[in-house]
Structure 1
Amino acid sequence: MEIFDGIINDRGSKYAVSGGAVNSKADALAFLKQLKRRKKFAKATHNTWACLLDDGPLKNDDGESGAGMVIVRMLEREELRNHIVVVTRWYGGTKLGGDRFRRVQDAVNHYIGERS
């Protein structure tokens, strides 16, 4: 499990990105459970995630409507399979509108860049 915390601040909202290898839905759910054992991540406003498995993509917006599909598309473009990416957001009090998708993209790009 790799965690990059405090990578983005936008109008009070703070972001982190995490990821690791998974081979099944059960692995993905276990990854999330392990991440949320950290109190900070358990109390986050959103833990949006996605992974590309052999039998197709899995995703969960966790209340950040549409964000899971943003992660799926980025994983497809990078051909990053059997790997979960979780974008965590702590809401800062100001709605970001469409910028929230840019922040999700920024977080995933940060994760992919760190893996290179």
Structure 2
Amino acid sequence: MADIINPENEEDLQAQIILPPDYPSAAPPIYQINAAWLRGSERAKLANSLEDIYVEHAGESILYLWVERIRDFLVEKSHCSEAVVQQEEVNRTAEEEVEDDEDAPDFSILGVEKAHLFMDQPNDEEMPPVKHGSPITDRRSTFQPHLAPVVTPRQVKMVLEKLYENKKIASATHNIYAYRIYCEDKHSFLQDCEDDGETAAGGRVLHLLQILDVRNVMVVVSRWYGGILLGPDRFKHINNCARNILMEEGYLASTDEACKSGAKTKRPKGKKAK
């Protein structure tokens, strides 16, 4: 176990690293990071950067690179914390100046009125049904897909909000998603994706949706990191999760039938040529 201390703000972090017998040729180190202040997106960001180092230097010793990356992470965090404190001081000073000025307008009232206008806007969007697929577990990491039919960007937001109401999904290390919506009036697609800290994962899911030519659907893949680096295998599991739930919910039926019919039309042509 190693204690890594940030020299700028004395925030320490404990990293316990176990080297398996086939390290570094065929297996990455197994590690556990302990820090009371490290949680949520920050922990996911650090874990993802360590995994990227392993992928880039597969088969090489990476302990030194990991230690340096953790030190850099601590320094970056201290700089961000200082910036937040400075901004809070600026905001507090500005608030005090407004309170001292009797002629200053009451911005809080304006804010309430503005929020009230948004609340009065009609909301005819229906919450799409959300389906949950079977999980895939590999080396203590678990991947689970979720799917919902969507036809507007607002429904995409509604689905995400619904998923995050689930404490287990909200606590996932990454919630990667992609969606494709077909706009009939423009004969084009509205599509987007989100990595949520898992670099390039959202783009891979979106690429899968494009290859399968599915439309009006959103796929989310949750990953709970188990402490063991998976390397490129993590992308395989993410794509398999997405494809499996698309198949389970019938989104690949039309594609498969089209492929079969296309194959049937090609065979007779080949026979005629003979």
Letter in 2 for 1:27: Q
Distance 2:247 2:190 in 1: 24
What TM-score do the two structures reach when normalised by structure 2? 0.41
1:42 corresponding residue in structure 2: 170
Q: Deviation string for 1:12-64 (max 9, x for gaps)? A: 10111001111222211110110111110011111000001234321000001
Which residue of the other structure, out of 9, 17, 20, is the alignment partner of 2:148? 20
1:4 corresponding residue in structure 2: 133
Superposed displacement of residue 75, structure 1: 0.7
1:18 and 1:85 in contact (8 A); partners too: yes
The structure with more strand, counted as a fraction of residues: 1
Letter in 2 for 1:3: H
Which residue of the other structure, out of 204, 211, 229, is the alignment partner of 1:70? 204
Q: Deviation string for 1:74-106 (max 9, x for gaps)? A: 111221111100000000001111111101111
2:214 corresponding residue in structure 1: 80
Superposed displacement of residue 70, structure 1: 0.9
Letter in 1 for 2:131: E
Where does the alignment leave 5 or more consecutive residues of structure 2 unmatched? 1-129, 183-188, 251-274
Which residue of the other structure, out of 194, 204, 207, is the alignment partner of 1:60? 194
What secondary structure is seen at the aligned counterpart in 2 of 1:53?
A: strand
Distance 2:157 2:140 in 1: 29
2:246 corresponding residue in structure 1: 112
1:25 and 1:58 in contact (8 A); partners too: no
Distance 1:24 1:10 in 2: 35
Which protein has the larger Cα radius of gyration, Structure 1 or Structure 2?
A: 2
1:48 and 1:61 in contact (8 A); partners too: yes
Distance 2:153 2:229 in 1: 31
What secondary structure is seen at the aligned counterpart in 2 of 1:100?
A: helix
Greater mean deviation of Cα atoms: 52-61 or 39-48: 52-61
Distance 2:153 2:195 in 1: 15
What TM-score do the two structures reach when normalised by structure 1? 0.92
Higher relative contact order (CA 8 A, sep 6+): 1
Runs of 4+ aligned residues of structure 1 deviating over 6 Å after TM superposition are: none
Greater mean deviation of Cα atoms: 51-60 or 64-73: 51-60
Root-mean-square deviation (CA), in Å?
A: 1.2
Where does the alignment leave 5 or more consecutive residues of structure 1 unmatched? none
1:33 corresponding residue in structure 2: 161
Q: Matched residues, percent identical?
A: 33
**Number of residue pairs aligned between Structure 1 and Structure 2:** 115
Distance 2:219 2:232 in 1: 20
